Amino acid sequence: MSTGETTYPLSQGELAHFSRLAAEVGTHTVVRHARDAAREGLSATERQALELVGQTADSLTPGRIGALTGLSTGAVTGVLDRLEKAGLVRRERDRIDRRKVLVAVTEAGRERLAGIARSAAGDLARVLAEFSPAERNVLERYQNAMLEALRENAHPA
């Protein structure tokens, strides 16, 4: 990840402090996602797969879903079977390479994802309201930098 911006020294103590915060945020995020998924009638894994497909401009292959989630081929098939049965995703053949299967989110799937997002929006708005617009710009820059680092790790060369 190279932003071309100035970097500043970071002490081991600061790194340890931010690592602990990130771990705690990560743990509570996973718990929140599982609870919100259950409220929408999904398992945490189903929610994760649905969100990955929903966040992609194009459709994803089942193999790519497996690579991103760490799930086996059989587990991905089971998750997609359940999501498809619920009408949240559809499998379709690639128009160019008919051997390839693509997974796309249906309108019902998008509505389900919107419901999940609404459940966290209140907390997000409340917390962000505690920060000035300038501070929110810094938070956004941090989030984008972390997303870039996480995406690079999810797509190894």
Decide if 129 is inside a domain. yes
Asked whether residue 2 is domain-assigned, the answer is no
How many domains would you assign to the chain? 1
pLDDT digits (tens, 9 = 90+) for 84-141: 999 999 999 988 988 899 999 999 999 999 988 888 898 999 999 999 999 999 999 9
Two tokens, residue 86: 């619920």
**Position 101 in a domain:** yes
The predicted structure's pLDDT at residue 13: 96
> Would 141 be classed as within a structural domain?
yes
* Residue 87: inside a domain: yes
Q: Is residue 8 part of a domain?
A: no
Supply the pTM of this predicted model. 0.79
Residue 90 placed within a domain: yes
The structure tokens 């989030």 sit at 143
CA distance 53 to 35: 20
- Domain assignment present for 30: yes
Amino acid letter at 51?
A: E
Range of the domain at 33: 14-154
**Euclidean distance between CA atoms 14 and 2, whole angstroms:** 21
| pLDDT tens digits for range 25-84 | 999 999 999 999 999 899 999 999 999 999 987 789 999 999 999 999 999 999 999 999
What CATH number is given to the structural domain containing 54?
A: 1.10.10.10
